[in-house]
Amino acid sequence: MVHRPRPPLVASTGPRFLAIARAITDDIRRGVLVPGARLPSSRALARDLDVHRNTVLAALAELEAQGWIATQPARGTFVSDALPAQLGRAAPPHRARAGFTLPPAPIAPRGVATHGRGVIALDAGVPDPRGFPVDALARAWRRVVRRSGRTLLGYGPPEGHPALRAALAALVRTLRAVPATAEHVLVTRGSQMALDLCARALLRPGDRVAVEALGYVPSWHALTLAGAELVPIGVDGEGLDVAALARAHARAPIRALYTTPHHQYPTTVTMSAARRLALMALARRHRWVVIEDDYDHEFHYDGRPVTPLAADDPDGHVVYVGTLSKVLAPGLRLGFVVAPPPVIAQLATWRAAMDRQGDQPMEAAVAEFIDDGELERHMRRMRVLYQARRDALVAALAARLDGVVAAPCPRGGISLWAPVAPGVDVAAWAAAAAAQRVLIAPGARYTFDGHEPGALRLVFAPSTPAELERAVAVMAATAPRATSRSPSATGSRRRGAPSGSSPPRR
- Residue 9 is predicted with a pLDDT of 44
pLDDT higher than 60, residue 429: yes
Q: Residues near 188 by Cβ (< 8 Å), separated by ≥ 6?
A: 160, 194, 197, 334, 335, 336, 337, 351, 358
Report the candidate in 310, 355, 309, 342 with the shortest Cα–Cα distance to residue 202: 342
Report the candidate in 128, 129, 131, 119 with the shortest Cα–Cα distance to residue 462: 128
Average pLDDT over residues 484-505: 46
pLDDT higher at 369 or 30: 369
Q: What is the pLDDT of residues 93-103, one digit of tens each?
A: 556 677 788 88
> DSSP 3-state assignment of 343?
helix
Average pLDDT over residues 482-505: 47
pLDDT higher than 50, residue 89: yes
- Residue 139 is predicted with a pLDDT of 93
- Residue 113 is predicted with a pLDDT of 59
pLDDT category at 310 given cuts 50, 70, 90 is very high
- Residue 73 is predicted with a pLDDT of 87
All domains of the chain in start order, with CATH: 7-79 (1.10.10.10), 120-128+377-478 (3.90.1150.10), 133-376 (3.40.640.10)
Helix 374-400 to helix 360-371 angle (10° resolution) is 90
> DSSP 3-state assignment of 348?
helix
Average pLDDT over residues 212-231: 95
> DSSP 3-state assignment of 494?
coil
